[in-house]
Amino acid sequence: MLVYVKYPRKRQERAMKRLYDTTRLAHYEVANKFFFPPIKTGLGTTEGKVTEEQLNFYRQISSEGPGVIIVEPVAVAEGGREHPRQLAVHLPDSWEQLQKISEVIHQKNRFACLHLNHAGAAANPKASGSPPKAPTSFTCPTSGLTAVELSVEEIREIIEAYRLAAQTAKKANFDFIEIQAGHGYLISQFLNEKLNKRTDQYGQNTLLFAEDVITSVRNAAPKLPVILRISGNEMSPEFGISPNKIEELIRLAEKSGVAAIHVGMGNACFSPPWYYHHGSLPEKPQLDALTFIRSLTSLPIIAAGRMGSKEKIEKVLNNKLADFVALGRPLLADSSLIEKWKDEAFDTTVLCGYCLQGCLHRVKNGQPIGCNLNPELGLPKLPPSDNPKRILIVGGGPAGLSAAKYLIQRGHRVDLIEKKDHLGGQFALAWQAPGKQKMREGLDHLIKYANKNVSTLVLGKAFNTDFLNWSKPDVLICATGSEQNIPQIDGLEEQNVLTSVEFFERKKDVRGPRVLVIGAGRTGLEITEILGTEGYEVVATKRSEELGNDMEMITKKLILKRLGEMQQVTLMPKTTVRAFTQNGVTIEKEKDTINLEPFQTIILASGMKPPGAPNSLIAKSIANIEVIGDANTIGDIYSAIHQGYEIACKF
């Protein structure tokens, strides 16, 4: 059994300070022991060219940031592309485009690393223009697509593409090259005897493709150190790569002169939650994987995945499981995190909640990368206002808190009033859902900022015109959030009813044993899981076919899997609740009328609605009124916080 030692505080502090020591890696002196891992940004053009937004992004990440910045994945060949806006490395002018990024990184005195990949069966036909290809034909569950078997000639073309990509990296003035050899991508697919059923040399020797790729890269750019990215555990017993194959890959890396091993987790096809390190997953498998890799090699190890916690970093370093730490999403949430840790300015840090909502969810949907907590990501710093104003914000939810933060940073005087006795709005409830506890840390930052910097903060008071007379604002910002949408259902008023907000506030009791949840979107599914875990018999209905339609893909898959394992939970899509009677509940499911037994509690998760515009008396009292967040249009935490930032840009 593996045991992770908890060291005294002083030794932990020394571990953190060691992260800032200049460190030799290959023939370079690296500024610190932090890396930025390859994160898809969706900021490029559809032709694979670099944009100004991309340069702003890398400029921001590099400034006082990780010693080595690994640039987002580039596909060595068109057929290996994953995203329509993925940077290209195989076009005649690719070196000129990529050099723009390396120059930005070098201007910040950081090293630039180009990440080379071919997605194989995980490639996206919308990006590549062709069906995905793999060592042998198999279906990638993430996409639902079946890959076509590569010919020997095509394999050799891909190996040549790696060679040309390495030459491009050298010409574009990159300092390192990283080869993606894990996470269920093409090199891993060749190495995996469960997927590679070839009978030729690339099947008889499953390591051969990896060896040919590494050799071609090393020969093409002999002066550029190579980092090998792997999965410490693909977390798929049925389809994942075996430990002995990982060991073979490590031995090849040592023999080939690889400079470091970059260890992530998961498989893009068979275990995407682990590949993307979803916040609800346990941490022990990752620590076990790092322990396993460390037992195999003395090569420098870069630990990747949910490393944005000082305590976790200390555990990894003190147990000698890694030599370097990769921070990806934590730097999306707060690009100054590394410097803040160095200065021990812990109270000012914005900590990532690993929700995947602003980053992965947006990129998967074809939008540029973003962050729930950081609307400034990839943008220049907001300048001071030329005309400082006195601003009154009504509502201390995410939109109001965000507006307060950025308006104050621009030099405005901000007063804030919140009718409840605490700040946070629905954000203060969201983190209570299963697997979302980490989101609380981002909320805490906004609350701390408001408590410290808002000129006058009033809690537990409803807003009225007296506050206008007292504050005398130049601008009134209404960020009053939303209210529950109450469906018109016969007999509902005679039931024991809780709104979704009342449920999370826990101010009203849930009676059992049977509970009906009306609305199986994100909030409804989260409520259903909590009740199912507590032992209630739960039925959750949704008028449309798609459950959790407003959820990030991986979060939705995880919660539906957990709910599917609860025998006392029933999910009913395409179902409308028609009436409550003395004998039970009448529902309509796909045009069939069904009667269900009575429920002791009805919980409404049937969506929210804006509370309406400010009353006419308030509107007459002040000319400049802005309505933001759910008070304007129902959205999510991402849209609320970004609207707060956007209103600050306006003033």
CATH number of the CATH domain containing 310: 3.20.20.70
Residue 437, pLDDT > 80, answer no
Instruction: Check residue 224 and give its pLDDT.
Output: 98
Q: Does a structural domain hold residue 383?
A: no
CA angle, 462 then 467 then 469, to 5°: 155
pLDDT of the residue at 151: 98
Q: What is the CATH number of the domain that holds 546?
A: 3.50.50.60
In a domain, 440, yes or no: yes
Q: Is residue 374 domain-resident?
A: no
* pLDDT tops 80 at residue 566: yes
With 50 as the cut, is the pLDDT of residue 256 above it?
A: yes
Residues 100 and 169 in one domain: yes
Single-letter code of the amino acid located at 597: E
pLDDT (0 to 100) of residue 414 = 97
Residue 95 domain-assigned (yes or no):
yes
- pLDDT for the residue 106: 98
Q: Give the mean model confidence (pLDDT) for residues 136-155.
A: 97
Same domain, 270 and 191: yes
Say if residue 626's pLDDT is above 90: yes
Asked if residue 230 lies in contact with residue 260, where contact means CB atoms within 8 angstroms, the answer is no
* CA pair distance 146, 125, nearest whole angstrom: 11
Tokens of 164: 């040309």
Q: Each residue of 323-370: pLDDT tens digit?
A: 999 999 999 999 999 999 999 998 889 999 888 888 988 888 888 999
Residue in 102, 122, 97 with CA at minimum distance from that of residue 113:
102
Neighbours of 151 (CB within 10 A): 11
Q: How many CB atoms lie within 10 A of CB 248?
A: 17
Q: What is the mean pLDDT of residues 128-133?
A: 95
d(CA 302, CA 262): 5
499 and 531 share one domain: yes
CA atoms of 121 and 546, how far apart (whole Å):
27
- Is 634 a member of any domain? yes
191: left (phi over 0), alpha (psi -120 to 50) or beta: alpha
- 301's CB contacts (< 8 A; 6+ apart) are 260, 261, 262, 263, 290, 293, 294, 321, 322, 323, 324
User: What is the reported pLDDT for 13?
Assistant: 62
Q: pLDDT-derived band of residue 503, with 50, 70 and 90 as boundaries? A: very high
Gap between the Cα atoms of 555 and 278, Å rounded: 8
In a shared domain, residues 406 and 278: no
pLDDT surpassing 70 at residue 11: no
Q: Give a yes or no: residue 413 inside a domain.
A: yes
pLDDT-derived band at 433, boundaries 50, 70, 90: confident
**Domain membership flag for residue 394:** yes
Q: Which residue has the tokens 């700040």?
A: 423
Q: Is the dihedral of CA 366, 372, 378, 380 positive or negative?
A: positive
State the chain's mean pLDDT as an integer: 93
- What integer pLDDT is reported at residue 9 of this predicted model? 52
Domain match, 519 and 550 both? yes
| pLDDT of amino acid 5 | 47
- Distance, CA of 293 to CA of 103 (rounded, Å): 34
Q: What percent of the chain has pLDDT over 70?
A: 97
**Statement to judge: residues 617 and 602 lie in one domain:** no
147: left (phi over 0), alpha (psi -120 to 50) or beta: beta
What was the pLDDT predicted at 1?
36
Average pLDDT over residues 52-65: 96
The pLDDT tens digits of the residues spanning 384-396 come to 999 999 999 999 9
pLDDT of residue 331: 97
Averaged pLDDT, 245-249:
97
Q: Percent of the chain at pLDDT above 90? A: 82
Do the domain assignments include residue 236? yes
Q: What is the DSSP letter of 281?
A: S
Evaluate if residue 421 carries a pLDDT over 80: yes
Domain count, the chain: 3
Q: Quick one: which of 159, 170, 289 has its CA closest to 226? A: 170
Residue among 41, 110, 107 at smallest CA distance from 72: 41
- My answer on whether 233 and 128 are in the same domain is yes
Examine the domain organization and report whether 262 and 408 are in the same domain. no
Of the residues 346, 364, 382, the one at which a domain ends: 364
In which band, very low, low, confident or very high, does the pLDDT at 10 lie, cut at 50, 70 and 90?
low
The answer on 202 and 157 residing in a single domain is yes
**306-322: average pLDDT:** 93
pLDDT for 289: 98
**Same-domain status, 593 and 633:** no
What CATH number does the domain containing 622 carry? 3.40.50.720
- Please tell me the predicted confidence (pLDDT) of residue 30: 97
pTM, entire model: 0.92
Domain limits at 536?
A: 492-609
Mean pLDDT of 279-295: 95
List pLDDT tens digits, range 534-557.
999 999 999 999 999 888 889 999
Domain boundary among 347, 364, 381: 364
Asked whether residue 360 falls in the same domain as residue 508, the answer is: no
Q: What is the pLDDT of residue 8?
A: 54
Model confidence at 12: pLDDT above 70: no
- pLDDT-derived band of residue 529, with 50, 70 and 90 as boundaries? very high
Residues 579 and 454 in one domain: no
